[in-house]
Amino acid sequence: MTATKGLEGIVAAASSISSIVDGVLTYRGYNIDDLAANASFEEVAFLLWFGKLPNQDELSRLQQDLSDYAAIPDALIEQMKLYPKDMSTMAALRSAVSALALYDAEADDMSREANERKAIRLQAQLPTIIAAMARLRKGQEPVAPKAGLSVAENFLYMLRGETPEETSVKALDQALVLHADHELNASTFAARVTVATLSDIYSGVTSAIGALKGPLHGGANEAVMKMLNEIGSIDKVEPYIQEKLDNKDKIMGFGHRVYKNGDPRAKHLQKMSRELGEMKGDTSLYEMSVKVEDIVTGQKGLKPNVDFYSASVYTQLGIEQELFTPIFAISRVSGWTAHILEQYENNRIIRPRAEYVGQTDQKYVPIEQRS
Ligand SMILES: CC(=O)SCCNC(=O)CCNC(=O)[C@H](O)C(C)(C)COP(=O)(O)OP(=O)(O)OC[C@H]1O[C@@H](n2cnc3c(N)ncnc32)[C@H](O)[C@@H]1OP(=O)(O)O
Ligand SMILES: O=C([O-])CC(=O)C(=O)O
């Protein structure tokens, strides 16, 4: 038995939710470029959960459900008020989503119908939790969700306490479409491993949030912004990046396990980043990002992944760095829950083997004889 480090190239599940073939990403057979140009996030979530694009009635019903379920229990808000103000937002989200299960009478109902309802509820409640958390960190009271708004619009509304302008809503909605699912990425795999023991959907999503938090996965978007802030201005890009490359440090937002010729989502986020800069009359953040890309791609052949330009997009939307990875979770919870539903439908516990590389033939030594 020989281990494959990082399970590279191992096919660990059969799935009909999303695919990556020759660098082309599709959700249920729809090219991501087509969806990014035309679909709303709610349409994409429906597509991931139910395998088809919704008709108008189905979409209206989902929008109504998302709106109806968006409030979170008062007890959870009270609990979140006790979290330290300098909390890691992803750690707080992980705790809050885990706690959410305690207030759901259906948490351990394993019927398909109950799990579909919980998937929609989680999708509806994650933005509310994150917006509340963001406000509590700043000593502000949470803003309750407003009926009739899309996921993107409601999130920005709850974050800021005022109706967001259309440009921001459209940009965030498109970013949510682009992040919604990605085959067997680390957080989705974590979710599937957890629920394959027939544990509940909240446990699966809590595991996924823990995996997404890491800087080699979803946490990279915050690390990218930290790097851009450290660089500070375009004239400092070259020495900063060169030093990192010389030291063999990783440049966050670059490289990918599956895409070796570029991430198809990055071009959409790059365009969005440029357009938002132009609209604000300040493209400096965008230009700095392009310069980083030129150097890293030029020297290492590494291309930007989905996390690279999302950092400058969110910053230009006026969103603080600590919310970037939680926003990723707002989108990806649609994919996680779709995968969880799929895992339950055709379940077998996920239990691979390890290649043992430790000592052998050891003999027990009484404690008083040990050095
Ligand atoms: C939503 C997402 O999760 S997208 C990914 C977000 N993560 C990041 O942006 C973090 C930075 N990138 C990385 O750490 C990696 O590219 C990962 C984690 C995305 C993929 O990891 P792996 O598939 O294991 O890539 P792997 O380590 O085999 O990379 C191949 C080579 O490129 C190098 N490399 C990969 N990414 C980078 C990077 N961002 N900066 C510098 N060098 C890199 C590796 O050091 C390795 O070099 P070596 O062959 O000399 O050892
Ligand atoms: O697929 C991966 O390994 C990481 C990624 O891009 C994602 O989760 O969107």
The pLDDT profile of the chain, 371 residues, written as one tens digit per residue, is 899 999 999 999 999 999 999 999 999 999 999 999 999 999 999 999 999 999 999 999 999 999 999 999 999 999 999 999 998 999 999 999 999 999 999 999 999 999 999 999 999 999 999 999 999 999 999 999 999 999 999 999 999 999 999 999 999 999 999 999 999 999 999 999 999 999 999 999 999 999 999 999 999 999 999 999 999 999 999 999 999 999 999 999 999 999 999 999 999 999 999 999 999 999 999 999 999 999 999 999 999 999 999 999 999 999 999 999 999 999 999 999 999 999 999 999 999 999 999 999 999 999 999 99
Q: Which of 306, 307, 327, 328 to mutate to test ligand 2, by most ligand atoms within 8 A of the CB atom?
A: 306
Closest ligand (CA of 241): 1
Two tokens, residue 225? 């912004």
Beta strand ranges found along the chain (DSSP E): 18-21, 24-27, 30-31
Residue 365 backbone dihedrals phi, psi, to 5 degrees: -115, 125
ipTM of this predicted structure: 0.98
Closest ligand (CA of 8): 1
Total-model pTM = 0.98
C-beta of 332 in contact with ligand 1 (< 6 A): no
Alpha carbon nearest to ligand 2 atom 2, residue: 185
- CA pair distance 114, 112, nearest whole angstrom: 6
* DSSP β-bridge partners for residue 26: 19, 31
307 an active-site residue?
yes
Alpha carbon nearest to ligand 1 atom 48, residue: 248
The pLDDT score that the predictor gives to residue 310 is: 98
Alpha carbon nearest to ligand 1 atom 31, residue: 255
Give the residue range(s) of CATH 1.10.230.10 domains in the chain.
Answer: 220-316
The pLDDT score that the predictor gives to residue 350 is: 98
268 an active-site residue?
no
C-beta of 218 in contact with ligand 1 (< 6 A): yes
DSSP code, position 236: G
Residue 367 backbone dihedrals phi, psi, to 5 degrees: -60, -35
List all residues whose CB is within 6 A of at least one atom of ligand 2.
182, 185, 257-258, 305-306
Q: What is the CATH number that goes with domain 15-216+323-345?
A: 1.10.580.10
C-beta of 237 in contact with ligand 1 (< 6 A): no
Q: Which CATH class is domain 220-316?
A: mainly alpha
Place of tokens 């000592």: 359
Give the residue range(s) of CATH 1.10.580.10 domains in the chain.
Answer: 15-216+323-345
Mapped onto helix, strand or coil, the DSSP state of residue 15 is coil
Two tokens, residue 361? 């033939």
- CA pair distance 6, 3, nearest whole angstrom: 9
The pLDDT score that the predictor gives to residue 31 is: 98
